[in-house]
Amino acid sequence: MLRVAIGGDHAGFEYKKAILNYLQEQNYDTADFGPYKPESFDYPDSVHPLATAIEAGKYDFGILICGSGNGVCMTANHHQGIRAGLVWNTEIAELIRLHNDANIICLPARFIDLELAIDCVKTFLKTEFEGGRHQRRVDKIAC
């Protein structure tokens, strides 16, 4: 069973709740890193603990959601063991797994609808890393 952590900020709060509900309905092992209410919330307070937990092997994948998806993505990618990708359609969700072995998907709640966000998560979680020539490139990402 895949272990999936989810977090973000206040702009992604409603999407986070809905996606977490979807994951639990699908029997994923989940963890919620906040926010836990819709009031203003600083995304690094969710992203850093989530990324650290993935680096430690506690979770297989992460889902991060903020208004543009950029803040959570930039923050997550400061962690050496993280490959986070900004996604706005299912094709990109597939490619960040297939070619980049991404372990975190970042979603822009203010720019895609909830149904598309869930479809992106589905695609991300079902897609396997292709390896091969892409492995060489992924091996060069960390500093």
Catalytic residue among 66, 73, 106, 120: 66
- Going by C-alpha positions, the residue among 97, 20, 30, 26 that lies closest to residue 59 is 30
What span, in angstroms and rounded, lies between the C-alpha atoms of 103 and 60? 7
Give the C-alpha distances (Å, rounded to integers) separating 43 from 50, 51, 74. 11, 12, 11
**Are 76 and 84 within 8 A, CB to CB?**
yes
* Residue 134 annotated in active site: no
The burial class, CB within 10 Å (0-12 / 13-18 / 19+), for 114 is: middle
Catalytic residue among 79, 99, 106, 120: 99
Per-residue tokens: 132: 């091969």
* Residue 143 annotated in active site: no
What span, in angstroms and rounded, lies between the C-alpha atoms of 61 and 8? 14
- Catalytic positions are 66, 99
